[in-house]
A and B are shown apart, each in its own frame.
Chain A
Amino acid sequence: MNESLKGKSYPPVDYEVGREKIREYANAIGATAPENHDRDAAREKGYRDVVAPPMFAVVYSWMAMAAGVLDPEVGINFARMLHAGQEFVWGEPVCSGDTITTTTTLADLYERGGMEFYVFESVSVNQDGQETARGTWTNLVRTG
């Protein structure tokens, strides 16, 4: 484990948010609120367009996260990796038509109890520069 990599950042990744992708995600998690499916219903509630459920943040930030998780310099043994914890702090809601740009940083890495911990932070902003979500992804790798 190379602790000097703490703070390493990865290039920003863009994600273009589509109405059907929001609907597909909302259906998968059982989010039936009309604003997650219908443009007129979303507009009536003050959104620009069909709005994504909060946990859609994993969809638009995953590709940016993958750059870190799969970085050979970090060297995570993906087959032994477990997702141990997750936090999101939400800002501006994400709607169909948005372009979300996510930047990932390896915020911390350490060993504890025979396990390696890798903590990534993702920061996502929309096309107007408003922060939509900040994620903290804690992954552990069993080394024993």
Chain B
Amino acid sequence: MEPGDQIPELKVTPDKYLPYRYAGASGDFNPIHIDPEFAKAVGLPGNILHGLYDMALVARANVQAAGGDLRKLKRLSVQFRGMGFPEQEITVSGTVKEVRDGRAIIDTVAEQGGNKIIKNAEAELEL
């Protein structure tokens, strides 16, 4: 892994009911994620994906970049910005920023329909 290298892209299209399964799995039943009518009533276009689900996809892309060994993912820091929606493809991509002391720092971004839903994500992988 060298600075400037791209990590393999991860593309995922969460289906319409994914937010319900993620709510059950995580315990986060905030209605903005699972109730389209409630979401619209508070000014959103529709129910939005859980930010921590989006972050889990960023983590998956980095574990994949580390050869699939989850023990290699040592740190992940993200900022939540745009909103993600079900039934639209999400692309996670990343670039190696630096390599030192047996660790690689990966700048990662998650985009959906041209919007960055997670940006300034930084992952640290053990090499």
- The reply to whether B26 and A87 contact each other, CB–CB distance below 8 Å, is no
Instruction: List A contacts of B99 (CB < 8 A).
Output: none
Q: Are B77 and A29 in contact (CB under 8 A)?
A: no
**B40 CB within 8 Å of chain A:** no
Are A28 and B80 CB-contacts (below 8 A) given A51-B70, A55-B59, A83-B51?
Answer: no
Complex CA–CA separation, A30 to B21 (angstroms) = 11
Task: Give the dominant DSSP class at B's interface.
Answer: helix
Whether B76 is near chain A, meaning CB under 8 Å from some CB there, is: yes
Contacts of B75 in A (CB 8 A): 87-90
Count of chain B residues with a beta carbon within 8 Å of a chain A beta carbon: 30
Kindly count the residue-residue contacts between A and B in the assembled complex, taking CB atoms under 8 Å apart: 83
List 20 extra interface pairs beyond A30-B57, A54-B70, A87-B78, CB under 8 A.
A27-B21, A28-B18, A29-B60, A31-B60, A33-B68, A45-B69, A53-B63, A54-B59, A55-B52, A55-B59, A59-B26, A82-B80, A85-B80, A86-B55, A87-B77, A88-B75, A88-B76, A90-B73, A90-B75, A93-B71
24 CB-based A-B contacts, threshold 8 Å: A27-B25, A28-B18, A28-B22, A29-B22, A29-B25, A29-B56, A29-B57, A29-B60, A30-B60, A35-B70, A51-B70, A53-B70, A54-B76, A55-B56, A58-B26, A59-B27, A63-B27, A82-B80, A83-B52, A83-B80, A84-B79, A87-B76, A89-B74, A93-B70
